[in-house]
Amino acid sequence: MSGIWGNKLKVSIFGESHGVGIGITIDGLPSGVEINMEDVMKEMARRAPGKSKLSTARKEGDVPEILSGFFQGKTTGTPLCAVIRNSDMHSKDYGKLKDLMRPGHADYPGFIRYNGFNDYRGGGHFSGRITAPLVFAGAICKQVLEAKGISIGAHVKSVGKIEDKSFNEVNLNKELLEKLKVKELPLLAPEKEDEMRSTILEAKKDQDSVGGTIECTVLGISAGVGNPFFDSVESTLAHLMFSVPAVKGIEFGKGFLMSELRGSQCNDEYYYDGDEIKTYTNNNGGITGGITNGMPILFKVGIKPTPSISKAQRTVDICEKKDAELVIEGRHDPCIVQRAVPVIEAVTAIGILDLVI
């Protein structure tokens, strides 16, 4: 079971979507770090469900209960463990899913992998609900990084075919990232919001769902962080991105577009800005040779449409061993992109802290 990640900083997740609770243990945090729990709760609220028509109607407070590793407002240096109790479960909605495998979900491979003993309610341990503990851990890691002058932020780059602007690849500031965090649809071009909302609500009306992309940046990180090959900054972040349910792709800097260009168009040329070395462009997303070059880290992830949709779909009944048709009931997000933004920021914070500790 791959529930543990990390080198110097280790995180271990546990729980199921409709179980008693979900949670995380963080090992390797330095001692004596003051944690602002109000800021942690703001991060949790960004991901929490049930806030608008753009997300699932399931309502969860997502209040973490810290069990260890935190005393008198500061980290103790021992493993920090927190649990988030589940409260708004409609497990009866999932009764027939014991035998009917949901297309696009982990039901079938999970059934095979765990010999039929996996908790299938709400997706069990495969559910996006498990990202709540990751956001908790990421919120703590963000505060540790902020003390080092490192900031992380993201925005919705696209929903369906509706595109937001891209981050300025060389001129970014923390103030912009803070403004994005308070928006339900964090966009650089607010005029695109109505189109995106319409795209999501139209999919919902059609008993369907829609995906999109998220662009994320890391500011204030110095040159020289990371390693070549297996522990490169890209491989560290990519590992964590693909640990988030629904992420199906990642590209750093210009990414796949670079395959169409020449070296002279891709290379980021250097110059001195006083005593600091910078690059005129940031086509490589702030990383070369697996190591940071001092420019903002920039990457995009692709989020697939929510697989739980109310349209009739073809599937199989593994009890009767025959083909079947499935109409999924229950409460589901017509689009998870906007709720995934704080999750992407959180796992980025976990990965960067592991690299800089």
| Residue 1 pLDDT greater than 60, yes or no | no
DSSP label of 158: E
> Is the Cα dihedral 153, 157, 215, 335 positive or negative?
positive
Number of domains in the chain: 1
Rounded Cα distance between 184 and 342, Å, is 11
DSSP-based three-state secondary structure for 46:
helix
Higher pLDDT, 53 or 253: 253
Considering the chain, what percentage of its residues have pLDDT values greater than 90? 83
Find the range with the poorest average confidence among 5-9, 84-88, 174-178, 282-286. Answer: 84-88
Position 11 scores a pLDDT of 97
Position 268 scores a pLDDT of 98
Please count the CA atoms within 13 angstroms of the CA of 10 that sit on its side-chain side: 11
| Residue 88 pLDDT greater than 70, yes or no | no
Domain of 322, CATH number, reads: 3.60.150.10
Q: Which residues are documented as binding site for FMN?
A: 125-127, 289, 304-308, 331
Q: Which residues are documented as binding site for NADP(+)?
A: 47, 53
Domain encompassing residue 73 = 4-356
Provide the 10 A C-beta neighbour count for residue 81.
Answer: 19
Over residues 64-78, the pLDDT tens digits come to: 999 999 999 999 999
Q: Which residues are documented as binding site?
A: 47, 53, 125-127, 289, 304-308, 331
CA distances from 16 to 114, 125, 305 (A): 14, 4, 21
| Residue 95 pLDDT greater than 70, yes or no | no
Q: What's the rounded mean pLDDT across residues 114-140?
A: 89
Rounded Cα distance between 346 and 46, Å, is 11
| Residue 263 pLDDT greater than 60, yes or no | yes
Find the range with the poorest average confidence among 16-20, 145-149, 319-323. Answer: 16-20
